[in-house]
Structure 1
């Protein structure tokens, strides 16, 4: 009689975790955050709800981690190795680097896998203060810090004035994109984000009047 190998608990846990991520993102996109429940996620994923509570204290934690994982998958698809942070490139050309990362952001925002659950969470974060704080702290701020780091590198290279606050400067191109996407006031595109970078870096005054 041949002994069967014992089941690999790590592989089983990873499969369940992936199923939970997918179920959580799908449900929040279909039903909205308020109507998404741990019970619903568990049923969609084919696991017991105690499995979810063993790993996460709330549905918010499930969704935020699922989003982080989705971002990591996108980063690996874009060329980052496992465990790497896919940041803003530094080729020495600030405008080109910002345009490249913003084009990638447009692709992400127009991808239904990101767009539908992102909108649901963003809308809920406006009325749910705790979720909004967690959304900003765990998802938004780490991404914004990448812009801060790249702008500071540009300052050190003499490409940005030394007195400029990078945290404020990044809002010149990140905030308009987010507003247009959230409010659907107009389509977002590569041309739009390229223009945001040009306006932000070159200013609006005539070149001979800028001093």
Structure 2
């Protein structure tokens, strides 16, 4: 989908520069040092969109450090603006797309990974590009600390079924699964994304799971 033009984009980005990480690979193994409190757990959302989820998570959980990952400047500027407006000291934005998590994060560096409404890449020939493909999962596992979790949400039933198969192929422990998140025991602590609000308003049930990346 073509991104809409953002007026005064460069000026907006400059105003939020304190929350932007433009050279992420140089911080591999030392991400915590960038935060006000390096002792806190570190969670990352890969594919943060306009940032509703990750900014709200950072606001609700000041005892956790968060990284948003979004490569498109016309989109990630929205995350940066929220982080600045809310003065979130526990959130930074990686201004690049991630192909292999191991390029950005060291072994055992992450305590949790969120994948929300990822591109389903519906054609079979593009299966390896899906963020829940077993190759991607192997990379997440390599970067995961003991007890680290993966949480995945999608409205796409086919992608969810594929993801369950891929997770099982890696032998990961699945803590819980729901095909209707908003009418499940996990709804109370759910933070909605922009896409989630849109799809649930149309009556579409939301799939969600949580798995342990490293035991």
Larger radius of gyration: 1
Query: As a proportion of its length, which structure holds more strand?
Result: 2
Establish whether TM, by shorter chain, passes 0.5: no
Tell me the TM-score normalized by structure 1: 0.31
Tell me the TM-score normalized by structure 2: 0.31
Query: As a proportion of its length, which structure holds more helix?
Result: 1
